[in-house]
Amino acid sequence: MRQAHSDRLRKFSAERFFLSAILIILNVLVLLWAADAGATGFIKVGDRAKGGGGSIAEVTIVSETVGVKFSNQMAKTRVVQIFKNNTGHILEGEYIFPLPFGANIVSFATWDDGVKIDGVIMEKVKAKKIYDDIVSQMKDPGLLENIGSNTFSAKIFPIPAHGTKRLEMEYVEYLPLLNRLYSFTYPLYSEELDINARSLTIDIELASDFEVVSPQIYFKNIVFVKNSANSYTASYSAPSFNDKVDFKATFSLDLDSDRSKTITYTDKYMGSEEIYFLTTFRPFENEKDAAAAPEAKPKKAVFLIDTSYSMRGEKTGIIQKLFSNIETLDGYDSFNVIFFDSNARALDVEFIKADAAGFSRLRSRLEKIKPFGASKPMTAVRELIGMVNDTGGAGVNAILISDGLYPASEGERPLAKVLKDAFETNAPAKKYLTVSALAVGAGCENDRLTMVSNAFMGEFREIKNLYDDQTQLVVPAILKSMAGGIVKNVKFSPGVGMSVLLYPDATQNVNFDSECYAVGKLLQRSSVNLDIEYDFRGVRGGRKIEAPVKESGDWYVPLLWARLRVNHLIARIDEYGENEEMRREIIELSKRFNFVTKYTSFLAVPPSVLRPRRIKPGDPEISISAPKDSKLVLVKLPFAEAMKAEYDEAKGLFVARFTAPAHIKDGRYEARVMIVDKFNREKHHALDFFIDSTPPVIYAKCLPERILRGGELIISANASPDTASIKAKMPDGQIVELKYDPLSKLSRAHKKTGEKDKAGVYKIELEAIDHAGNRSVKFIEYTLSGEAASLDAAADNKSAAGDGNAK
């Protein structure tokens, strides 16, 4: 743990301006101590994830407020947490928050002295430079790298001694239909991490364009309150919550099949309209597929169980609980188990009868698991393929049970390619084998687990903790789903005459009672015309989707498309190497839609949204820098009512017109700005500005005062510190701009006199303008003669000396 020493405290006071910025660098990373990542958001100080020996942790959670809004299948979650520093030292910390698989953070903010500081997306290199420039004076900066997990991390500094730090975050996730239900989970605890008791408030709003069916909450006996057929709410509050349970909710929708297959959204961007669409495929909506498919025969089940070192502790407990109540399996006559770490070992050389005795034998073996060694799933996959080859044509459904913390490659070959080759080159496996993946525990590498399920046409699910009420049900549920039928090789393709960027561009697998989807961006305006092809129980099927472009409020469709487009580009870069054009597109999409990628970070500093920062009494307008497509921009000055700003195309800024009363004294004031973006996200800024009615003071002179024809004249000026520009009007009418010279700390200009100029006294008019637009004028003189130029220059002694210059 780092602690602040007295010299740092003194420096902190001296450098208050820099520290008030509260720099936050946000990235996605895989934590080395991944087991800690399955909890609610928390701050880790130094290398300690929890207090030891009964001591109070350096930083604890005081309160946690969670707001969840469901809009059809989209969930937007807003989290506000207040943390307390329990020490007498200023601390630096690392904020950790585990994101649900597929979720995107769309905003992050911290508070400093009552002022909210919103994070903005920046290119990672630029964000790191700003971070280094400001923070390096006070500590060694650390910038975490994005290496592809679902855990969110931010550097937090300072956390005041015996003070608090407030953090806010908002993320969105699209909830695909799984077994005809939409499911949502908010993590509240971890078996590996001591999270202290804290005040907890959860508010839920469920609204849909369709009738909501069977909404359920699996948390503290609370229930949804029905407001209408399409709207439900729920809430929970506790002054001291420390239970080992996550918040879970499920619901279904009475979908109009035609209305729900495709939704479109028109996004106005950079003066043009962009049309996006989301199309879903639900196999169960066409019962003819099930009727036409051959009847499913009894199958064999195989469980690939990871027993490597990372599976110790709670993860082993989850595996034991998965099988604690199983006595038989509907649709299966036998099973086997392959345990693997760096090697693979089958429970039996033959398949075991799927009855009470067989599963009792499995439970006895699970009680003896001692996790050890590395995880090499390909050893288990090859053993599994051997089992399939020995069955003589019987269907085999397998479940890989792991945390996914294994290498993404085998030797120098990417794991995805190794898996694909293993599947494609073995005819019995390709025809008879399906493998699903089940992630168990916190901090799982879900991407690597889905590599396996995708390669072998299965599905993916997860159990995050030992207390999950679905733990004892999930294995039979997955196997039942696979026995009922996995719809394989689902491929969305554009129809004739349709120009579109459509993702995902790879085939998908989905069980019969669930759904998969594709999102697209039309390259030219047309109706949506898609072909869907798939395999079900060995029979090739297809559907055609046709839908007109209609206006909707489904703002999340462009965001989903952008996320999948970025995933596509990153996959191509990973496969073929760095590509500058693709990298730039990823950065632009990240900035536009406000989510983190491997090339971008969130950086939170007080932004300069207010222009000008100095205002002259009587000024008619003020400008605010905000995205052009913002829904609302309000500015509140202390001497005026809140004003709505309108976008000015010429300036590229939002402009609010007002009058600063003449009686307002010069000085520092605070403006409050609220910006509501097109996704209805509010950002609040409190920024200083200055009322300034005093023109700048100039001290100026010529060197030399007497000069020969053709000689070089140096004009020097020293002006008030808020001076923005100094210009000189020469006797011939030419305007010369003075430039700041850091060596002399003066603003200067060099000008040659004319060879044919007449002798005499000449005047130069100097104009100084400050940042508020105040203007002052001074005159200085020089004498042109045939005599030698004097080395002594007479200053304009009537000018008052300032202490600054235009830089």
Provide, rounded to the nearest whole percent, the portion of the chain with pLDDT above 70.
80
The answer to whether residues 462 and 438 touch, using CB atoms and an 8 Å cutoff, is yes
Amino acid in position 284: F
Fold of domain 297-484? Rossmann fold (3.40.50)
Report which of 468, 122, 136, 104 is spatially closest to residue 317, judged by C-alpha positions. 468
pLDDT at 143: 33
| Span 503-511, average pLDDT | 87
Is 674 or 120 the better-scoring residue by pLDDT? 674
pLDDT at 266: 87
H helix runs in 189-267, sequence order: 257-261
pLDDT at 131: 58
The CATH code that applies to domain 698-784 is 2.60.40.1930
pLDDT at 612: 52
pLDDT at 611: 52
CA atoms of 60 and 507, how far apart (whole Å): 45
pLDDT at 62: 93
The answer to whether residues 775 and 766 touch, using CB atoms and an 8 Å cutoff, is no
Question: Is residue 291 pLDDT above 90, yes or no?
Answer: no
Is 280 or 10 the better-scoring residue by pLDDT? 280
Report which of 729, 807, 721 is spatially closest to residue 767, judged by C-alpha positions. 729
Q: CA–CA distance from 270 to each of 273, 274, 523, 627, 682 (Å)?
A: 8, 10, 15, 10, 21
| Span 693-711, average pLDDT | 87
CA atoms of 107 and 129, how far apart (whole Å): 21
> pLDDT band at 91, cuts 50/70/90?
confident
What are the tens digits of pLDDT across the range 703-746? 888 888 888 899 999 888 878 889 999 988 899 999 888 777 88
pLDDT at 743: 76
Is 154 or 460 the better-scoring residue by pLDDT? 460
> pLDDT band at 11, cuts 50/70/90?
very low
> pLDDT band at 139, cuts 50/70/90?
very low
Question: Is residue 33 pLDDT above 50, yes or no?
Answer: no
Instruction: Report the sign of the C-alpha dihedral through residues 322, 295, 450, 75, in that order.
Output: negative
> pLDDT band at 683, cuts 50/70/90?
confident
What are the beta bridge partners of residue 713?
A: 751
pLDDT at 618: 54
Is 799 or 308 the better-scoring residue by pLDDT? 308
What are the tens digits of pLDDT across the range 362-413? 999 999 999 999 999 999 999 999 999 888 767 899 999 999 999 888 887 8
Question: Is residue 346 pLDDT above 90, yes or no?
Answer: yes
CA atoms of 143 and 374, how far apart (whole Å): 29
The answer to whether residues 114 and 94 touch, using CB atoms and an 8 Å cutoff, is no
Peptide bond into 414 cis (omega under 30): no
pLDDT at 491: 94
Question: Is residue 53 pLDDT above 50, yes or no?
Answer: no
Provide, rounded to the nearest whole percent, the portion of the chain with pLDDT above 90.
32
What are the tens digits of pLDDT across the range 588-642? 998 888 888 888 877 665 554 545 555 555 555 677 888 888 888 888 877 767 7
> pLDDT band at 292, cuts 50/70/90?
low
- 197: its two tokens: 């008791």
- Listed by start position, the domains of the chain span 6-254, 258-290+499-591, 297-484, 610-691, 698-784
pLDDT at 203: 97
Report which of 526, 640, 566, 589 is spatially closest to residue 262, judged by C-alpha positions. 526
Is 443 or 737 the better-scoring residue by pLDDT? 737
> pLDDT band at 539, cuts 50/70/90?
confident
Question: Is residue 20 pLDDT above 50, yes or no?
Answer: no
Is 336 or 807 the better-scoring residue by pLDDT? 336
CATH class (in words) of the domain with range 6-254: mainly beta
CA atoms of 146 and 693, how far apart (whole Å): 49
Q: CA–CA distance from 28 to each of 94, 144, 148, 217 (Å)?
A: 12, 8, 6, 30
pLDDT at 335: 96
pLDDT at 615: 57
pLDDT at 602: 72
* Per-range mean pLDDT, top range of 455-469, 496-510, 616-630, 667-681: 496-510
pLDDT at 803: 38
Least trusted range by pLDDT, from 64-78, 109-123, 196-210, 434-448: 109-123
The answer to whether residues 394 and 300 touch, using CB atoms and an 8 Å cutoff, is yes
Q: Do domains 297-484 and 610-691 have the same CATH topology?
A: no
Amino acid in position 432: Y
Q: CA–CA distance from 573 to each of 103, 118, 473, 582, 585 (Å)?
A: 22, 31, 40, 8, 12
What are the tens digits of pLDDT across the range 184-220? 989 887 666 678 899 999 999 999 988 999 999 988 8
pLDDT at 146: 37
What are the tens digits of pLDDT across the range 463-494? 888 877 788 999 998 998 888 777 888 999 99
pTM of the model: 0.64
The answer to whether residues 531 and 493 touch, using CB atoms and an 8 Å cutoff, is yes
Question: Is residue 132 pLDDT above 80, yes or no?
Answer: no
| Span 284-313, average pLDDT | 79
CA atoms of 546 and 524, how far apart (whole Å): 16
Fold of domain 610-691? Immunoglobulin-like (2.60.40)
Question: Is residue 98 pLDDT above 90, yes or no?
Answer: no
Question: Is residue 52 pLDDT above 90, yes or no?
Answer: no
User: What mean pLDDT, rounded, does the chain reach?
Assistant: 80
Question: Is residue 496 pLDDT above 90, yes or no?
Answer: no
Residue entry with tokens 């009686």: 663
